[in-house]
Structure 1
Amino acid sequence: MADALKIGIAGLGTVGAALVRILQERRDMLATTCGRPIEVVAVTARDKSRDRGIDLSATTWFADAASLAADADIDVFVELMGGSGDPAYSAVKAALSRGVHVVTANKALLAAHGIELAGIAEEHGALLNYEAAVAGGIPVIKALRESLTGNTISRVYGIMNGTCNYILTKMEKEGLSFEACLKEAQRLGYAEADPAFDIEGNDTAHKLSILTSLAFGTAIAADDIYLEGITNISIDDINAAADLGYRIKLLGVAQRTESGIEQRVHPTMVPLDSVIAQVDGVTNAVAIESDILGELLMVGPGAGGNATASAVLGDIADIAKSRPGAQTVPAFGRPVTALLPYTRAQIQSHEGGYFIRLTVIDKAGVFASIATRMAENKISLESIVQRSKTHTESGAPQTIILVTHATMEDAVRKAVASIKTEGYLVGEPQVIRIERPKAA
């Protein structure tokens, strides 16, 4: 049997502790399946005295991640600290620069510096593995980077943030407000004390940018994504979607078009009978559409100690099974020099149409005015419905729901802007894309 693969871990939170525990409990099994033992020989964390329920007596503690990455006698540096900057960035860079393989779960780091780090890894013959950075335990990175080689990918989309999916699921099932569901998510540990990064779509955007690079062979463009979170989704939107045969999900969508690559993150209505509509709670789902394989939908736990540790362990096991001198797999499926510049797609027709909710003063001529503004922007309406409420006061606000046929994003925005100048609108209008997934 080959010599042990020596691991150094930076970060011993929920994921790091779970990883150490699994490596220790399944040492013999992993040695058999990988052809060599895997040993944790060095660690670092903010609090050395904390009881993590794992045995670290045989490991060497380092004062910080940078010194562990630069000086420890290790084969693999496992970065589980998070964050796009230091200490994670400098530590990963230091490890790769001396030919030490890196495994990370850090999507923010990869979105900001992934191409640079991949180049360093290639230069020094090291692997940069990051299965756990996107969709937790779902093996979507390996699928795109290796399993689907030879396929031409046309679209990648999915539910990539468990916090948002939990909130939207709870709003629908229990009829609660967004604010109430967010508080419950925070109480259960699904949302941070400051949840903005999740609920405003940034977390999904980072993950999507990585998938876009893998799927289409382009440089990462995390700052070139249309971004909209779920903070404006109301229980009225949830109920209206259900009445129309849809469910609201926060989706990240990347697709190839004739003019470039389109990346967007936003609340989306998907048909109730589609598979992705059935993905509830903190579960994630990623769909890939390609020319050879067709449609592939992967569903599984998107976060949590065991799920993320499982993905990290899979990356470590791949390294353990490799042999000295074997050609390394490029981090983004092809050498950095072969990645194409990212070209943002021009605004195009959206095949699924749009849901538009307007709260208006109940007076004569409103319906006609709305229809006129839509027609002026060449928007064809599939349906227009007034959701009446019992009221005693003449002119009390009423809700109007519009569903459009395929149209241009710009046209919808212009039509809504025109309606806002008419003087009968109450509050802000709601606009949600409708997707009709092929994976149904």
Structure 2
Amino acid sequence: MLAAMPPTSPTPVNRDEAPPRAAAETPLRERGDACPGALRLHAADDGRLARLRLPAGLLTLRQAQALAGAAERLGDGHLDLTSRGNVQLRGLGGSCGAELAELLHEAGLLPSETHERVRNIVASPLAGLDELPSADVQLWAHELDGLLCASARAAALSGRFLFALDDGRGDVAALGADVTLLARRDGSAVVRTGANRSGPRVTPEDAPRAALLAAETFLTFAEASGSGAWRVRELPAEDGRGLEAAVRARLADAGIATEYVTDTTARDPEGDPPLPGSVMSPDGTVALSVHARLGRLSVAQWRLLATAANGPLRVTPWRGVIVPGVAPAAADGLLDRLRTAGLITDPGSPWHGVGACTGRPGCAKALADVRSDAAAAVSRHGSGGLPVYWSGCARRCGHPQGRWVDVVATGEGRYDISVQADVPHTTTGPEPGLELADAVAAARTTPLTR
């Protein structure tokens, strides 16, 4: 049962925007990156955790079935979708690492053991599947993945370093990647580093290699700074400013012709993530966009998605799956089956826009069972308004980008609630004393003023 907020408590419910959580100083790390992977399993309270990188979120039917078998035989019978379009297996036994690795090798999901944690590549999931003209970011992802795995230098990247390949609609360009390829209408691509909105423009043929060279240039800056930076945004300010120029110089040395683009800010696309539902594809088939409740799928749900697709599944950075190639006559009936199975198939679903980390009992750092509390809030108020993300502690693992309601457990059944945004704003919200579900619902519908 959700705890009520004491009427006299000055609980910070939906106050003015919470201050940015970026570190005031550049981090200085003395240990290596412990980000989990498919071979380096993380010890959680509910067993071992494996995180499998899926460049562009692509999974063939055979690979999807292999993951279902692994979750069923070795894990807890579920698959978790991450905010980078990857898949996690939880509840793994302590001695299953070799068996899991063999299974992944056989399915073609481990092309390089030395690079398996650095294959963090997101791509516009509807590219080529809807009516919008788009660059072939799936091809870019395939080529970039091959280049990454062939680069001994790239093996030093952190498991947190992210590539985003945007087909021009602006969806994954907004995810805060370290290196972004943003396609332009003329077919070229702008290579961006970190939060920069300018950068060198390259031909589509050179785009994947340019992205790799940008990442390798970042490594040089990170090592020279002595900061131990894992992400571009963690570089000292002067290095962050110099990285863009260094990338241009590195591309020139590699024989890649560039043209510097400085005027992209005013024309930046602002594409939204794929909504749940059906999308008509240019080839006359239908692609289904389906989201998982709180990012978690049972093996049965996963297999239903896999067998419905006529082509590779596309796992999205918004904890969803794109099912391509469905016959138009079968699309509505299949959506009904998926909805009945507990998946989100319509934007009006009360679960749409609701996310949560693992929380208790799976995570030792969590201060609450956030999934249960989020489910209780959904059952009370349903859907509407800003996305909301429930975090078991102040680390906020897996939180979204852009504007969202931040619900953070502070212990003893209490939460801090605020509105996070990518632009300065103020909010007006509910009075202290509201129950948690009421306060979250009010925060999701509070108007923003800039």
Whether these two folds match at TM > 0.5 is no
Category of TM-score, reference length = shorter chain = under 0.3
Which structure has the bigger radius of gyration? 1
TM-score, scaled relative to structure 2: 0.23
Between Structure 1 and Structure 2, the one with more helix by share is 1
